[in-house]
Amino acid sequence: MTITKYFKRQFQLRKFRLEHDVISDFYISSCQRNRSIVPLLILRILIFVGCLSTVIASIVLTVRIMSFKYWLIYLTHWGIVINTIAAGFGLAVSVRAFIKGTIEGSLGLPWYVKAYWLSLNIATPIALFITIFYWSLLTGLEQDFAINLTLDIFIHAVNSVLMLALLLIARHPMFLLHFYFSIGIGVIYLIFTLIYYAAGGTDPFGEHTIYPMIDWEYPGQTIGIVLLSALGIVILHGLMVGLSAARDALGKRCRKETSYGIDDAYY
């Protein structure tokens, strides 16, 4: 019965929108018993610094070896920029609450809270997709996509760890029906690859593709890969929703609240 109630709540039409009644869930950490803003603020500072440092290091090392224009074409780099945006807006929410106190929500979520929630809905499944895509399909190829081993680990593995941490340390929900945010970014990137191919763009190796398996010279194969990728992103989004529900149940136990079933995950 609790599972039925959970999915009934998840598939309400209002869950397509960025609406949530408890604004403090966006700036109080999941397991703490008090209402202090400081713990989540500190953690978000660390995550933002990690994300920003990764972007800066990636740009610097890439420009040393090749043109900056090639940095712009890879989904990995789009992903770490989105990670930094999500971490930045999360930090902004915490800083705003720390400086001015309780965030007023009588007229709905403020724009910067919505911006954080939206960007995290994009960043987390995309980060996991990039990690899986890279280590399963791009390593071991004749073309070496790794500029630096340490950087390679940060942009293709630590990226996911940081986004999972950003999700799991807070209390705000993730809704199944928000999957279209990350799919939307995927569509934008897909259109970019098509335009880049049509304009005669190449990768650093002189190939007319950005990734070997996304080759518009073979549209049938490429569309098949794209559809499988879209399905993968939706599945990963669903996994993030499940993890956030488990986080909420565990958080309620840590806070010794009387109700912590899955049906109470989004109250």
- The 10s digit of each residue's pLDDT in 84-104 is 999 999 999 999 999 988 888
Model pLDDT, residue 141 = 63
- C-alpha angle 124/129/132, rounded to 5°? 130
- Residue 1, pLDDT > 70, answer no
Q: For tokens 């090639």, what's the residue?
A: 70
Residues present in the chain in total: 267
**CA-to-CA distance for 57 and 147, rounded, in angstroms?**
11
* 237 Cβ neighbours under 8 A, 6+ residues apart: 121, 124, 125, 174, 176, 178, 179, 182
Q: Considering only CA atoms, which of 20, 203, 5, 194 is closest in space to residue 103?
A: 20
In the 3-class helix/strand/coil scheme, how is 183-207 assigned residue by residue? HHHHHHHHHHHHHHHHCCCCCCCCC
Q: 137: which 2 tokens?
A: 């399909």
Alpha carbon of 13 to those of 1, 25, 29, 169: distances in Å? Answer: 21, 21, 28, 27
CB-neighbour burial class of residue 249 (10 A; exposed 0-12, middle 13-18, buried 19+): middle
Contact 169, 3 (CB under 8 A): no
pLDDT digits (tens, 9 = 90+) for 13-45: 788 889 988 899 999 998 888 888 999 999 999
What is the number of other CB atoms lying within 10 angstroms of the CB of residue 219? 11
Q: Provide the angle, in degrees to the nearest 10, between the axes of the packed helices 179-198 and 75-100.
A: 140
**CA-to-CA distance for 95 and 86, rounded, in angstroms?**
14
- Give the single-character DSSP code of 14: G
- Give the single-character DSSP code of 136: I
**CA-to-CA distance for 136 and 121, rounded, in angstroms?**
23
Instruction: Work out the pLDDT band at 144, boundaries 50, 70, 90.
Output: low
- Residue 265, pLDDT > 60, answer no
Mean pLDDT of 250-260: 72
**CA-to-CA distance for 119 and 80, rounded, in angstroms?**
12
More confident residue, 112 or 30: 112
- Residue 149, pLDDT > 90, answer no
Contact 36, 23 (CB under 8 A): no
- Give the single-character DSSP code of 51: H
* 98 Cβ neighbours under 8 A, 6+ residues apart: 37, 38, 41
